[in-house]
Structure 1
Amino acid sequence: MQIITALSDVSACYDALFVDLWGCVHDGVRVYPGANEALSAYRAQGGKVIFVTNSPRPRAGVVQQLEIFGVSPDAYDDIATSGDSARVAMFRGAVGTKVWHLGPEHDAGFFETPAVLDDPVAIERVPLEEAEGIACTGPVDPQADPSVLRPQFLAAKTRGLKLLCANPDIVVDRGNVREWCAGALAELYTEMGGESLYFGKPHAPIYDLARRRLSQIADIPDSAILAIGDGPATDAAGAMGEDLDLLFITGGLGAEETGTPLLGNPDAALLQTYLARHGVVPTYAIGSLR
């Protein structure tokens, strides 16, 4: 593994980037310093950038969110979201037609029928007691411990309901505040004996979607794609599972444990310990995307 100081140190070796958003490009509030500039410069030299995010939102919703955070349209070509991948599965009947939505109301766009499907099933949002399955886009209260849902999950598991997880992330940092994500709820449901279905990183469906989005722009082999992310269990595990080179961002979820200061690089010894503990073998590492 090589610790680099800028994306440009290695970007010439790749024709496309699969870039995570939260923890790499923005912190859930605003874009990170240097991220717009690094990605825009890469695209100006002919590189292609696909944002690959575990956001439960459809692509259009993420575009709107990125504008609010200050992410430049020049920084990317397209977006593949966990929400889009999971939403297609739901409208193909993966968890039935009567679905309990476990998530905040601002995720209601998840239930808009995808235009890419020719014959989608009709999905009806219903209370848990009437549901055939669960669509989990995240906790209603991201500060509450996932265990508060044990009573509902026990009832759902007893009836054999499948839980469709639209965001496999366990936690994210919104600014300086750590929040629970849909992945933590799906993990609890599985631990309780329920069945959870995943479509975001590190699972294959979102990478298939990212490749389809990339193929509409250019024909680029996996050997020329660099994955960029900060999540050991999502971004890193996904890239390794897909046999993609990986640039690991140490200043995201692992900033404290890797000794990564703001806009600085990690402590090499702490980073090696962190990577070994999580079983991550990146090609490169950098403190922040710059």
Structure 2
Amino acid sequence: MSPSDPAPAPMRPVSFIRSFADISNRYDLILCDVWGVLHDGLKAFSAAGEALTRFRENGGRVVLVSNAPRPGWLVVRQLDQYGVPKSAYDDVRTSGDLCRDLVAQNGTRMFHHIGPERDLGLFRSLEARSTALEEAEYVVCTGLFDDEAETAEDYAGTLAAMRARDLVMICANPDLVVERGHKLIACAGAIAAAYEEIGGLTITPGKPHRPIYEAALDLGGNLLGRPLDRARALGIGDAIRTDIAGGHGAGIDTLLVARGIHAADLGASHEGIDEDFALRWAAGQAVRPTYVIHDLTWRRDAP
């Protein structure tokens, strides 16, 4: 950590909250994950949209921080399709935005793209063009070609060929998995991890790494119109490895949404959660959240 970097957030005992309204007045800015918190890849979570909307109505600002391998404007279009209200957020910063910047910095150098056609919007209007692996000067991975049927193991041959040429991989989505409906789907981060295991070099600007947090926090300060006090910023997400570790490294408090990719670990179901069990699990992690909540809800009725 350089002298200019913020100190990581303190590792305080984990608290369980039932309603976001219970802590909302402690914060001016929320950096909120998207997939797993606002939607499940098929439909929006209406209570989460309402909670963020209420926070903004009370004067707070919300920046959505996503590891989506697409520019923010495409993520907004997707959120509209899922039914996430625009009243829930002020702006969006994605891993795809930062990845796009990296590709732009490489000018006309040719790259090989690993990922589905739906991610091609990432490269729109850039000078660089994709090419066959044999001709590429580096690789951009946005995901699996068929994330319903493939796993990272299916890319062993490609990764070996990349390693033989010492090609750098830019990973546009550091997530290992996301939840689509009730199914866990592998992401680009799983391929990047497999490449690192055989000695390959990866560049990953998204969560939990510093670049995306600095971009989002700078944007949040601009939205507030004043210097941001990081003690009054909160990161919300459903993944320890990305959302909680990333927020901790950026020096802000974090809220772990239990009904996400860690639902089984935390003992969470769509009906409820064992709060004591969830707290014990969260407290046992190498990086702990400040709070745990079952799902992002503004006000939950007492049982």
For Structure 1 versus Structure 2, the TM-score category normalised by the shorter chain is over 0.9
- Unaligned 5+ runs, structure 2: 1-13, 298-303
> Is 2:177–2:187's contact at 8 Å kept on the other side of the alignment?
yes
Q: Write the deviation string for residues 92-128 of structure 1: whole angstroms up to 9, x where unpaired.
A: 129x7100010001100110247xxxxxxx3121011
Rounded to whole Å, the distance in 2 between the matches of 1:12 and 1:191 is 44
Among 224, 241, 250, which residue is 2:232 paired with?
224
Rounded to whole Å, the distance in 2 between the matches of 1:13 and 1:163 is 40
Closer, same or farther in 2 for the Cα pair 1:280/1:250, shift >3 Å? farther
- How far apart are 1:221 and its partner, in Å? 1.9
SS of the equivalent of 2:242 reads: helix
TM-score (normalised: structure 2): 0.89
> Is 2:184–2:261's contact at 8 Å kept on the other side of the alignment?
no
1:198 and 2:204 are equivalent in the alignment: yes
TM alignment of 1:121-160, pairs within 5 A: 122-142=127-147, 143-160=149-166
SS of the equivalent of 2:174 reads: coil
> Is 2:16–2:279's contact at 8 Å kept on the other side of the alignment?
no
Rounded to whole Å, the distance in 2 between the matches of 1:73 and 1:222 is 25
Please give the root-mean-square deviation of Cα atoms over the aligned residues, in Å: 1.5
Rounded to whole Å, the distance in 1 between the matches of 2:109 and 2:271 is 47
TM alignment of 1:231-242, pairs within 5 A: 231-242=239-250
1:12 and 2:25 are equivalent in the alignment: yes
1:98 and 2:110 are equivalent in the alignment: yes
Among 286, 292, 301, which residue is 1:279 paired with?
286
Rounded to whole Å, the distance in 2 between the matches of 1:48 and 1:273 is 30
- How far apart are 1:193 and its partner, in Å? 1.2
The corresponding residue for 2:56 is 43
The corresponding residue for 1:70 is 83
SS of the equivalent of 1:217 reads: helix
- How far apart are 1:91 and its partner, in Å? 1.0
Write out the 4+ residue segments of structure 1 that deviate beyond 2 Å after TM superposition.
Answer: 263-267
Give 1:123's aligned amino acid: A
Between the two structures, name the one with larger relative contact order (CA 8 Å, sep ≥ 6). 2
Give 1:18's aligned amino acid: L
Give 1:212's aligned amino acid: D
- Unaligned 5+ runs, structure 1: 115-121
- How far apart are 1:66 and its partner, in Å? 0.1
The corresponding residue for 1:107 is 119
Among 237, 247, 250, which residue is 2:255 paired with?
247
Tell me the matched-pair count.
281
1:3 and 2:12 are equivalent in the alignment: no
SS of the equivalent of 1:65 reads: helix
> Is 1:51–1:79's contact at 8 Å kept on the other side of the alignment?
yes
The corresponding residue for 1:215 is 221
The corresponding residue for 1:256 is 264
The corresponding residue for 1:185 is 191
SS of the equivalent of 1:50 reads: strand
Q: Write the deviation string for residues 58-93 of structure 1: whole angstroms up to 9, x where unpaired.
A: 011000000011100000000010000111012112
SS of the equivalent of 1:43 reads: helix
Give 2:41's aligned amino acid: G
> Is 1:257–1:274's contact at 8 Å kept on the other side of the alignment?
no
Closer, same or farther in 2 for the Cα pair 1:105/1:226, shift >3 Å? same
- How far apart are 1:265 and its partner, in Å? 3.7
1:25 and 2:38 are equivalent in the alignment: yes
Q: Write the deviation string for residues 193-237 of structure 1: whole angstroms up to 9, x where unpaired.
A: 110110100001101111232233122221110110110110011
Among 293, 296, 301, which residue is 1:289 paired with?
296
Give 1:138's aligned amino acid: G
> Is 2:16–2:275's contact at 8 Å kept on the other side of the alignment?
no
TM-score (normalised: structure 1): 0.93
Rounded to whole Å, the distance in 2 between the matches of 1:225 and 1:274 is 20
Give 2:87's aligned amino acid: D
SS of the equivalent of 2:41 reads: coil
